[in-house]
Amino acid sequence: MRLFIVVAGLLTFLGFSATVVKNEPAAARAGAHEIQVFFSADTFDAEGYVESIWENRVLPYVKDRAVGILELRDEMRKNGRAAGEKYGYRAVAEHNPYNFAVKGRIKVVAANVKSRNGRIEADAYPYDGVPDAIVQIGPIFKGTSLRDLLDFVSFDDFKNQVEFAKLANQLNLRVRDSVIAPLGLAGDGGVGREFHLAGAVTEEPGETRFTVVPVVLDPIPER
């Protein structure tokens, strides 16, 4: 406690506005005299942490790494391991599945909006009427694909598994609130509409269609 007071006082003296708590290595916002920290001995502010990284780290990261849905599908069918090494990311352990960023122009050919884990079936351009991917639209999102895709997020930065799970959940909530909610898909799921998609998927051996957690789902205006 004394150390906390001393460090906080020193930062205040130096002109920083800060709350100094435990083990946040990279939460400072560039160009501002402010250090934002989201960990403490007792709590982890998952919402604040995701807010701090969403626009300037998560979105650029996914967009920059994204490979076309059909391209990745074809590569995975040829040699899943080689495709994983070329396009994917996974934690060090060999048994962990690869995670990928994907992108594409899609058309919604079917939807399930009655389930709490709402989904749309997406046909990737050039369209043939056959769905190539499942896009989760919530309000509940299954899995941890988005968290596990981010190579700048490590379990070692967190106190325990509970904090790491909170991060995955909060990332999914951010998708629900800022990506999906503005689209008004609750009625028909957007069947017949086209979108530009970018998002995260996790390798699923034997699965023929990707299940995507979208970070971009931008409507394409009808002609």
Q: Is the backbone of residue 105 left (phi > 0), alpha (psi -120 to 50) or beta?
A: beta
pLDDT, tens digit (0-9, with 9 covering 90-100), for 81-100: 999 999 999 987 667 899 99
In the chain, what are the domain boundaries? 68-219
- Identify the H or E element spanning 218: strand 210-219
Provide the pLDDT for residue 156: 87
DSSP 13-58: HTT-EE---S--SS-PPTTSSEE---B-SS-B-HHHHHHHHIIIII
Nearest 5°: the CA angle 186, 189, 193 is 130
Provide the pLDDT for residue 25: 39
Here the tokens at position 155 are 């379990």
Here the tokens at position 184 are 């008004």
Average per-residue pLDDT for the chain: 84
pTM for this model (two decimals): 0.81
Residues of the chain below pLDDT 70: 1-42, 93-94
Provide the pLDDT for residue 208: 76
For domain 68-219, say whether CATH 2.40.50.420 is its number. Answer: yes
Provide the pLDDT for residue 125: 96
